[in-house]
Structure 1
Amino acid sequence: IGTTGRGIGPAYADKINRVGIRVQDLFDENILRQKVEGALDQKNHLLVKIFNRRSITADEIVDDLLAYAERVRPMVADTSLLLNDALEAGDVVVFEGGQATMLDVDHGTYPFVTSSSATAGGASTGSGVGPNRLDRIVGIVKAYTTRVGSGPFPTELFDESGDWLRSRGFEFGTTTGRPRRVGWYDAPITRYATRINGITDLVLTKLDILGGLEQIPVCVAYDVDGERFDDLPVNQTDFHHAKPVLEYYPGWSEDISTARTFEDLPQNAQDYVLALEKMSGTRISVIGVGPARDQVIVRHDLID
């Protein structure tokens, strides 16, 4: 399904199976040992009977974990209290999600998903900050679409256009280096993400990558066996067989990497952004026109 092979899935499985070891367990050797022994009751059966490996003793695991206890202790705190105190003091607190809506374990293209809540609601469950404290939800979306790993991808390109987008946008996995799957902008997915997350602002990145195209296709709906879907089909089988309904927008040839205001963009680039904004269900507040930190156009401030 596209896993990085770093053990994230098994760690989440242990959490849900209630056999996971938490950081606070490092500070109570008796509890740590009980939990390790309980986990090994399951793990050793898998190691020995399924994978034909030797069993692991509780002593070696406990000794290894305890070696980190004092090193970690100064970094452990009641982070929910810490964050809420900061909010009460009027500080700005930013949560960042490391995955995307379509990889969310509940709302993504299950089972081709990550193991966690990657949507905005996960910020509350993961941090202990109530959802009523989240006053701005910023979604990041490229001017085209990419995905790493398996799963439905209606606008995916398998031709020279896909190779061009991947090469020009340097679309390779940050962790694994794997080539990303690429396709045209998918407005129904963006609308879905806006609804699921309660997105207030979109940051549209990599607009510069599309420079030089005579026409830019945009997916505005799906065709499933002759039936039009303006939003994501509720049945994943339908989504898997969905074909994009495309509309085409005039491209531009100008270099937009030095643009710092919306008016600096060529008219066709402005029209493309405004069309995406209208389709996406929320405003596009920031536009990326290059990889550097200052290569952005700010239409609306993200922090009041």
Structure 2
Amino acid sequence: MGSVVVVGSQWGDEGKGKIVDWLSERADVIVRFQGGHNAGHTLVIDGVTYKLSLLPSGVVREGKLSIIGNGVVLDPKALLTEIDAIREKGVDVTPATLKVAENIPLILSVHRDLDQLREAASGSGAIGTTGRGIGPAYEDKVGRRAIRLCDLMEEGDLGGRIERLLAHHNALRTGLGAEPIGAPAIREELERARPVLAYAEATWKTLREAVRAGRNILFEGAQGTMLDIDHGTYPFVTSSHTVAGQAAAGAGIGPSSLGRTLGITKAYTTRVGNGPFPTEQANEIGERLGERGAEFGTVTGRKRRCGWFDAVMVRQAVEAGGIDGLALTKLDVLDGFDELKICIAYELDGERLDHLPASKAQQARVQPIYETVEGWQRSTKGARTWGELPAEAVKYVRHVEELVGAPVSMLSTSPERIDTILVDDPFRV
């Protein structure tokens, strides 16, 4: 039995979709363990494109069990819509192939409203959220007023839970200039969510049985390490833990059952939304990277900010998140540059730093210290062996390994899953 935890090592959007699809073919069980429908994977299989936000990547492969764990916050409407969209492409999604944790917290309209009201009221201080209610749903979970999927089974208890939820949200809505919402509207919304109950299960038990049976398990994270609520560029972060350790709590499984951690890492750096970005290139270089890399968000379509590879940030993600190996993606986007730059340290108020400081004010002031390396003119697109890569590209990859302190286990050279150089199979025992 083997298990692999897949996380992003930057600010998300590292190209996890292709990698998790490649790994899901080798896995028996695929688990989403945090986040919501504010992040997505794009899978391209036999020329068909699947855009997934909540559904684990294994759902498009026959014979795989997909699980949405308790660490996720679930928008029932978004899930049912996504299931319908996948079915239209010929994928059979049933309660036998998809399980949802019965204790998962629900995202409701009040959460989406609050998310958007706050962003609108924040002006230049807005975080840049997707406005899909993820943050407010996590707040309610921690505040012990969330309505969970299992609550839909207890009709007699539901009225009190709705009252408690609205006592909190209507006070906030009034303060933000919005009309209060009545209990009947929430009850009607919950009624429409009842079809999700068909997928509800004590998924921690299902996973325990899979572990005992020696099945391969893939734990699939969303976003990236630098968006982690503790370890990221706070407050410009997501509302959950995005590091590998969350896989245990977010799936209901002991940490001893987690195997290797694979950090998906883009060969340059991108970010969606607001917040610090030391290596950002708001110039023709950034435009070139964005155009060649088709840098638009899977979920929102927002244009991504682009910049040079930040080895300091990735090294920090490796050390803080326990990453064992990297899946380096989008190497082909760097084709044709005469020279490339890699951030090897920061400067803050005249002092050299080997890490990104925790303070928001300091993060905004750090300046990158670059090392310039030779680029390459020959295409790397579609390469499937080291021998097909230009020598300069191989040097770039090896230097990245040295700077971040982790080996490259997989190297991706195009969106197609077969265009992958496998160095070390993450599922090896």
* TM bucket, shorter chain: over 0.9
Query: Deviation at 1:237?
Result: 2.5
1:44-88 CA distances to partner (integer Å, 9 max, x unpaired)? 2333454241x333234224313433x223211111111121011
Q: 1-side partners of 2:185 and 2:360: how far apart?
A: 45
Alignment of 1:209-288 (within 5 A): 209-288=333-412
1:26 corresponds in structure 2 to 152
1:146 corresponds in structure 2 to 270
Are the aligned partners of 2:409 and 2:425 in contact in 1 as well (CA < 8 Å)?
Answer: yes
Per mean C-alpha deviation after superposition, the further-off stretch among 77-86 and 228-237 is 228-237
Q: 1-side partners of 2:380 and 2:227: how far apart?
A: 31
1:155-188 CA distances to partner (integer Å, 9 max, x unpaired)? 0101111111111111111122111111100011
Per mean C-alpha deviation after superposition, the further-off stretch among 118-127 and 140-149 is 118-127
SS at match of 2:323: coil
Q: Given the alignment of the two structures, is residue 88 of structure 1 paired with residue 249 of structure 2, yes or no?
A: no
Counterpart of 1:104, as a letter, is: D
1:187 corresponds in structure 2 to 311
Q: 2-side partners of 1:23 and 1:141: how far apart?
A: 34
1:201 corresponds in structure 2 to 325
Counterpart of 1:21, as a letter, is: I
2:184 corresponds in structure 1 to 59
Q: 2-side partners of 1:17 and 1:221: how far apart?
A: 39
SS at match of 1:137: strand
Are the aligned partners of 1:261 and 1:299 in contact in 2 as well (CA < 8 Å)?
Answer: no
Are the aligned partners of 1:262 and 1:299 in contact in 2 as well (CA < 8 Å)?
Answer: no
Are the aligned partners of 1:141 and 1:202 in contact in 2 as well (CA < 8 Å)?
Answer: yes
Are the aligned partners of 1:4 and 1:176 in contact in 2 as well (CA < 8 Å)?
Answer: yes
1:178-200 CA distances to partner (integer Å, 9 max, x unpaired)? 11111100011111100111111
1:7 corresponds in structure 2 to 133
Are the aligned partners of 1:104 and 1:116 in contact in 2 as well (CA < 8 Å)?
Answer: yes
1:88-109 CA distances to partner (integer Å, 9 max, x unpaired)? 1111111111111111111111
Query: Deviation at 1:236?
Result: 3.7
Are the aligned partners of 1:202 and 1:282 in contact in 2 as well (CA < 8 Å)?
Answer: yes
1:126-170 CA distances to partner (integer Å, 9 max, x unpaired)? 111111211110100100000011111110101111111111111
Are the aligned partners of 2:235 and 2:360 in contact in 1 as well (CA < 8 Å)?
Answer: no
1:116 corresponds in structure 2 to 240
Q: Given the alignment of the two structures, is residue 289 of structure 1 paired with residue 410 of structure 2, yes or no?
A: no
Counterpart of 1:65, as a letter, is: L
Cα distance change, pair 177–52 in 1 and its aligned pair in 2 (3 A):
closer
Cα distance change, pair 39–272 in 1 and its aligned pair in 2 (3 A):
same
Q: 1-side partners of 2:423 and 2:168: how far apart?
A: 54
SS at match of 2:218: coil
Query: Deviation at 1:111?
Result: 0.4
Are the aligned partners of 2:311 and 2:344 in contact in 1 as well (CA < 8 Å)?
Answer: yes
Q: 2-side partners of 1:199 and 1:210: how far apart?
A: 24
Structure with more relative contact order (C-alpha pairs < 8 Å, separation 6 or more): 2
Are the aligned partners of 2:233 and 2:360 in contact in 1 as well (CA < 8 Å)?
Answer: yes
Aligned positions, number: 302
Per mean C-alpha deviation after superposition, the further-off stretch among 141-150 and 238-247 is 238-247
SS at match of 1:254: coil
Counterpart of 2:190, as a letter, is: L
Counterpart of 1:57, as a letter, is: G
1:16-48 CA distances to partner (integer Å, 9 max, x unpaired)? 221110000000012211111111122223334
Q: Given the alignment of the two structures, is residue 16 of structure 1 paired with residue 142 of structure 2, yes or no?
A: yes
Are the aligned partners of 1:36 and 1:58 in contact in 2 as well (CA < 8 Å)?
Answer: yes
Q: 1-side partners of 2:162 and 2:227: how far apart?
A: 31
Q: 1-side partners of 2:364 and 2:169: how far apart?
A: 35
Are the aligned partners of 2:233 and 2:358 in contact in 1 as well (CA < 8 Å)?
Answer: no
Q: Given the alignment of the two structures, is residue 165 of structure 1 paired with residue 289 of structure 2, yes or no?
A: yes
Q: 2-side partners of 1:65 and 1:218: how far apart?
A: 50
Cα distance change, pair 26–153 in 1 and its aligned pair in 2 (3 A):
same
User: For structure 1, which runs of at least 5 residues remain unmatched after alignment?
Assistant: none
Q: 2-side partners of 1:233 and 1:12: how far apart?
A: 26
Cα distance change, pair 3–297 in 1 and its aligned pair in 2 (3 A):
same
